[in-house]
Structure 1
Amino acid sequence: MTWNNCKHLATWLVVLALLPLLAGCGVYSFAGTNIDPAVKTFSVQTFQNTANNGPSYISQRFTEEFKDFYQRNTTLKLVPRDGDLQFEGQIIGFDFAPAAIQSTNGVTQAGQNNLTIQVRVRYTNTKDPKQDFEQTFQSNAIFNADQDPSSITNNPNSVRVPINNIIQDTFNKSVANW
């Protein structure tokens, strides 16, 4: 085998080795999503608040932040109903519980309180039904025990972290496939 033939063979081997890597780049985007190019739209039904303790604003707040997040992080168009990707569900839990117990002068009390929010999400992918799921997502926020739970409940900023975490987890499961 001549030197030129070896160089030619080596070039082809490198090209063949790189082909599988290039083929895997079909649906990836830099936002971390894995959305089929045939998917163009998404729809979000209002997430009803069925939690006993949930504040009146949480249904609207969660739904609007959910829509905004998907609009900011995908190129999908929001439609009122029957999107290629469909989201619906309920806010099923909004609960306070002691997070850290402390004892001062023989008196045991909560040092911190934990707010837990649970949302059941139903996801339908009309282009690939194998990706459909129904799952409950949960997140929490810790507050000092001296903060009154009613003041936390009545302050929409208090629920920002758990709501954002749940939306991010849903995003990762639905379009990032993590």
Structure 2
Amino acid sequence: MKYIKYIITIIAFTTVYSCKVSYGFTGADTGVAETFQVNFFPNNAPLNEPGIDIQFTNALQDLIQNQTSLQLVNSGGDLTYEGEIVEYRISPTTATSDNTAAQNRLTIGIQVRFYDKNDEEKDFERRFSFFFDFAGSAQLTGSQKDTAIETIFERITQDIFNESLANW
């Protein structure tokens, strides 16, 4: 009975450790990569919202740091994320009977290039976008704008993470 506890402990430790080597607990497949870099994502959208470039770059860095054991570096990373914000658009989605917007939609699109120094087959270039709907009578300012951008960036960064590191 005494030895069974030790055997179970060793098996559990070995299983957890072997999962950690290639896969994190989030399902991320980092392979042999140890570092990543996220280059600055400039805002090249026709409608320019100040500050979202830094906000997005930081959001992507934070997500990868929180969901993997990779170390963030400024250059020479095993994994590299780069790109630009290509869309920031507010448009009406539904109208009222007197031809005013009942609901508006903020859409943000990001063009991303991903490079894996150790496995070029995983490299990709792709556009990611998401939206946030808000009342047509409301102005997209203050906390509502912050919530909208945060919600959109949460979804886009998770989609980028899944595309680049989730090997499902």
Q: TM-score, normalised by structure 1?
A: 0.78
Unaligned runs of at least 5 residues, structure 1 = 1-23
Q: In the alignment, does 2:78 pair up with 1:88?
A: no
Structure 1 residue 27, shift from structure 2 partner: 2.7
Identity of aligned residues (%): 33
Shift in CA distance, 159/87, structure 1 to aligned 2, threshold 3 Å: same
Q: 1:6-48 deviations in whole A, cap 9, x for unaligned? A: xxxxxxxxxxxxxxxxxx9973332111121x20000011000
Gaps of 5+ in 2: 1-18
The whole-number CA distance in structure 2 between the counterparts of 1:63 and 1:30 is 24
Structure showing greater Rg: 1
Change (3 A) 1:111 1:152: farther
Partner SS state of residue 42, structure 1: strand
Q: Name the Cα RMSD after superposition.
A: 2.2
The 5 A counterparts of 1:27-176 are: 27-36=22-31, 38-103=32-97, 107-149=98-140, 151=141, 155-176=145-166
Instruction: Please say if residues 101 and 137 of structure 2, whose CA atoms lie closer than 8 Å, have aligned partners that are also in contact.
Output: no
CA distance, structure 2, for counterparts of residue 147 and residue 128 of structure 1: 47
Partner Cα separation in structure 2 for residue 153 and residue 25 of structure 1: 39
* 3-state SS, counterpart of residue 53 of structure 1: coil
Q: Which amino acid aligns with 1:78?
A: L
Asked if the contact 2:24–2:67 (Cα under 8 Å) also holds between the matched residues in 1, the reply is no
Find the counterpart in structure 2 of residue 11 from structure 1: none
Q: Could you state the TM-score of these two structures normalised by the residue count of structure 2?
A: 0.83
Q: Is the 8 A contact 1:44 1:63 kept in 2?
A: yes
Q: Closer, same or farther in 2 for the Cα pair 1:25/1:59, shift >3 Å?
A: closer
Matched residue of 2:99: which SS?
strand
Deviation at 1:155, TM superposition (A): 3.8
Cα distance in 2 between the residues matched to 1:164 and 1:71 = 14
* Deviation for aligned residue 1:54: 2.7
Q: Alpha carbons of 1:25 and 1:49: their partners in 2 closer, same or farther (altered >3 Å)?
A: closer
Cα offset, 1:108, TM superposition: 1.9
